Amino acid sequence: MARPNDEVAELFQEYADLLSITGGDAFKIRSYEKAARGIGGYHKDVSTLGTSELRSIPGVGASIADKIAEYVATGTVAAVERVRQKVPPGVRRLVAIPTLGPKKAAALYEQLGISSVEELEAAIHSEALRGLKGFGPRTEENILHGIRLLRQSGERVLLDTALGLAEEIVAAVSAAPGCLRCTHAGSLRRFRETIGDVDVLAAAEDSGPLMAALRDSPVVAEIIAAGEKKTSVRTTEGVQVDLRVVPAAAWGAALQYFTGSQAHNVRTRVMAVRAGLKLSEYGLFDSGTGELIVSETEDEVYGRLGLPWIPPTLREDRGEIEAGLDGTVPRLVTEADLRGDLHTHTDLTDGVGSLEHMVDAAAARGLEYYAVTDHAPDMPMQRMTAEKMLAQRERVRELDRKHPGMRVLHGTELNIGPDGDVDWPHAFLREFDLCVASVHSHFTQDRATMTRRLVRACENPDVAVIGHPTARLIGRREPIDVDLEELFRACARTGTALEINAQPDRLDLRDEHILLAKRFGVRFAIDSDAHAVGHLGFVRYGVGTAQRGWLTADDVITAWPWPRLREFLEAGRS
DNA sequence: GCCGTTTTCGGCCCGACTGTTTTCAGTCG
């Protein structure tokens, strides 16, 4: 499903990696990395753009614009091919080993001809690295350890796993004597869909007891590094946790720094330098006198740079700096804005909560409306029938009367068949309050077929929401191959909302696709897809993902009051 | 290789920790 932009971004990232192994100019390498990010996040398809428009992409100048054009025309870039000749693909793999970077990879390849992880492992065992400059016994051990990690998991963990771990560590560190503040930062605070390692920040005068609290935590399996300001550990589940301790006066600067992203921080530091300032995790300083200017809150740090406070979920260098300067940072949708949930299950199909329990739990969350959308019969394992559905409807209507503060809606999650048909005829579907429709089978159709299939589902007047639109399962199933722009156009034209499914292993649509869809005027439904009472809270991950897609409450139909949502549903059916 | 209301040339973010070092390079975030 790679867009041309993603292909070009990956190509330039590879080029940057290869240049770093061959010892290329560090600034040139950074330029290619920056251009790769700019191209990957650019909203227009680079294969349709002329030179001048290519050069308006952040980080793209004359030389890179030419290389993009060359790639679009020929499918290859001569400069990249040349450096590929010099560095076998296995050598690039070496830098994926923790503690092994481009310099060591280059030394191993040039001096010993090592060009794969397997060869490196064998070379260490046969003591071939002995005597190689810069490679002592500890380095050998670290590399072997790194190879084991790479093979075992090396994988990123899902948001809910990382957040649970972070909350546990934050509680332990907060309880240590002298801890003034403690919270998680990093990609977790930015709500990235998967987390590589968990960053925890604390403030204290004496870091000793805090570091000890982390080291002594029962979840810690291994201590990677232990210093006065930073301790890194690996948990029994293989997740790395970094704890940084700073003085309370530096809290804001440190939180800003450790929240990232790296690309965002590069931008803020450059802004500081241009203003005659120096920004570090300890504060914003006058670069001439070294005098501290601000450091206590993030608000002050951004303010002194001429920016409003920027929400962590936007800090990816995807235009938030420019929006800050223009005063156009959006008021992002929050969990408090959500008024309902339009995709949930009960034990009538594959849920584990009874209808009554689910509805009571939804009411306890203070929702204004709540839709029960059990699976339809074309998913044979669910054993659904029209009779069961109608019987459930009677109970839903009763519950609706029992909960005067909350509309209980009766819906269903239909299956989008291979050619775009759904389970029941219009006469039956029209009696539901709303229908979600999702792909649950035939995941490998070609793009044209898959696109027609989804567009047909959008055109069905009874379908209000497309559920988990790309059907991916993070780390387990690739997204379906669909022309997203075609789908977004169809949604906007037919008044069909796209779901932001908040299950942590789905998060579907994902952030960048939300950003793109919004440009087409698409509306979104943040849904829990809850199969149990405990899943209703997953919407926090959906909100984080929506924020990463720059959505406001106005973009999200589940943040609308019921009368506005009812109008939207009726308009889609007319 | 990119970029510019200080610059079309000369800059380009910055600090912590580890390991192999006799003063610092490499890696990481």
pLDDT in tens, A3-33: 788 889 889 999 999 999 998 888 899 899 8
Nearest nucleotide, CA A65 to C1': B1
Q: Are residues A285 and A367 in the same domain?
A: no
Domain carrying residue A301: 250-326
Q: In what order do the strands lie in the sheet with A220-226?
A: A181-184, A197-203, A240-246, A230-235, A220-226
What stretches of A350-419 adopt beta strand conformation (E)?
369-375, 407-415
Please, which residues have CB within 8 angstroms of residue A562's CB and are 6 or more apart in sequence?
Answer: A339, A340, A368, A369, A407
A1, A482 contact by CB (below 8 A): yes
CATH number, position A255: 3.30.210.10
DSSP strand pairing (A407-415 vs A157-158): unpaired
Q: Are residues A15 and A117 in the same domain?
A: yes
Nearest residue for B20, CA–C1': A134
CATH number, position A532: 3.20.20.140
Q: Which of A119, A137, A152 is the last residue of a domain?
A: A152
Number of domains in chain A: 4
Q: Are residues A309 and A343 in the same domain?
A: no
- A10 DSSP assignment: H
pLDDT of residue A506: 94
Q: Are residues A71 and A90 in the same domain?
A: yes
Rounded distance, CA A574 to CA A571, Å?
5
A279, A255 contact by CB (below 8 A): no
SS3 A174: helix
In whole angstroms, B14 C1' to A288 CA is 17
Q: Are residues A18 and A78 in the same domain?
A: yes
Q: Are residues A289 and A361 in the same domain?
A: no
CATH number, position A71: 1.10.150.110
Q: Are residues A434 and A413 in the same domain?
A: yes
Q: Are residues A241 and A258 in the same domain?
A: no
Per-residue pLDDT tens digits of chain A, which is 574 residues long: 457 888 898 899 999 999 999 988 888 998 998 888 788 767 788 999 999 999 988 889 999 999 999 999 999 999 999 999 999 988 998 988 888 999 999 999 999 999 999 999 999 999 999 888 889 999 999 999 888 877 765 567 889 889 989 999 999 999 999 999 999 999 999 999 989 899 999 999 999 999 999 999 988 988 999 999 999 999 887 889 999 999 999 999 999 999 999 889 989 998 998 888 999 999 999 988 889 998 999 999 999 999 999 999 999 988 899 999 989 999 999 999 999 999 999 989 888 788 998 999 999 999 999 999 999 988 776 778 999 999 999 999 999 999 999 999 999 999 999 999 999 999 999 999 999 999 999 888 899 999 999 999 999 999 999 999 999 888 767 789 999 999 999 999 999 999 999 999 899 999 989 999 999 999 999 999 998 888 899 999 999 999 999 999 999 999 999 999 999 999 988 8
Q: Are residues A101 and A175 in the same domain?
A: no
Nearest nucleotide, CA A34 to C1': B2
In whole angstroms, B22 C1' to A26 CA is 28
Q: Which of A196, A215, A246 is the last residue of a domain?
A: A246
Work out the widest C-alpha separation in chain A, in whole angstroms. 80
Nearest nucleotide, CA A133 to C1': B20
Q: Which of A210, A226, A246 is the last residue of a domain?
A: A246
What nucleotides of chain B have any atom within 7 angstroms of a protein Cβ? 1-3, 6-7, 11-21, 25-29
Q: Are residues A266 and A224 in the same domain?
A: no
pLDDT of residue A352: 78
Q: Are residues A524 and A399 in the same domain?
A: yes
Nearest nucleotide, CA A262 to C1': B29
In whole angstroms, B17 C1' to A315 CA is 26
In sequence order, what are the beta bridge partners of A158? A194
CATH number, position A186: 3.30.460.10
What are the φ/ψ torsions at residue A269 (nearest 5 degrees)?
-70, -40
Q: Are residues A218 and A303 in the same domain?
A: no
